[in-house]
Chains A and B, each alone.
Chain A
């Protein structure tokens, strides 16, 4: 069974760090969206998604992250940052032409 674990760390001053571990696909993206949605609120201004534990992502997962990007673009001062992309996950972002759209911190997953 494919799983996605989502752990959230409040970092104060409207900053949240979210660590994903597992696979983000049609099966798990619904749960991720449900957990991300409350974070995409006015009280937060900086959301950092750590993808270093993600080995695979599909369009359902990308679409969920695009919702975060749209949230960040809806108001001044908001950031939605991705980090820890493995080579395979980065390849999928590039295929989707989303690598240049998201704010992605450099450096591969461990």
Chain B
């Protein structure tokens, strides 16, 4: 793990037991940025879901490298996750519909919905040797006290 003034980063693999490392790191970032407990929990959720997507959809349950970095400044917090799997066609995933409580319940697609509900921007970049995802949350003064 590396640590600079406004950035934290670490290199992991996609094994499920690494998710707690990411969660701990996001909690540290949340405290440093001064987020409320509620918003920190939401950031942990979004990064957890992105990590799960990488493990399941990029690496298909096999182990692979995952790099994560968090950067923040006054008005913005972003998390970048990078894998080294086959580049994904992410447009379809980003377009997954919001679950309809009145309709038929389907567990699938919930992770992407949660990420979109929590973050202000989700970007995907297909690289020659993998994928880069960036989750961005715009920060406003009130979010430091109450999400």
Residues of A within 8 A of B (CB): 1-2, 23, 25-27, 56, 58-60, 62-63, 66-67, 69-70, 87-88, 91-92, 95-98, 100-101
Contacts and interface: CB of A to CB of B under 8 A. Distances in A.
21 contacts: A2-B17, A2-B19, A26-B48, A27-B17, A56-B23, A56-B45, A58-B111, A58-B114, A59-B49, A62-B110, A63-B107, A66-B107, A69-B105, A87-B38, A91-B42, A92-B41, A92-B114, A95-B118, A96-B114, A97-B99, A97-B100
**Range, interface on chain B:** 20 to 34
B16 A59 contact: no
A1 B99 contact: no
Given A59-B107, A63-B107, 12 more contacts: A27-B16, A56-B45, A58-B48, A59-B52, A62-B110, A69-B105, A91-B38, A91-B42, A92-B114, A97-B98, A97-B100, A100-B101
Contacts of A98: 99, 101
Nearest to B18: A27
A60 B101 contact: no
A88 B17 contact: no
Contact of A59 (B37, B44, B101, B110): B110
A59 B111 contact: yes
Interface of B: 16-17, 19-20, 23, 37-38, 41-42, 44-45, 48-49, 51-52, 55, 98-101, 105, 107-108, 110-111, 113-114, 117-118
A88 B19 CA distance: 18
Nearest to B111: A59
B42 to A, nearest CB: 7
Contacts of A62: 107, 110
Contacts of A25: 19, 48, 52
B105 A26 contact: no
A95 B114 contact: yes
Contacts of A100: 101
A27 B19 contact: yes
A62 to B, nearest CB: 6
A1, A25, A63, A100 pick with most chain B CB within 10 angstroms: A25
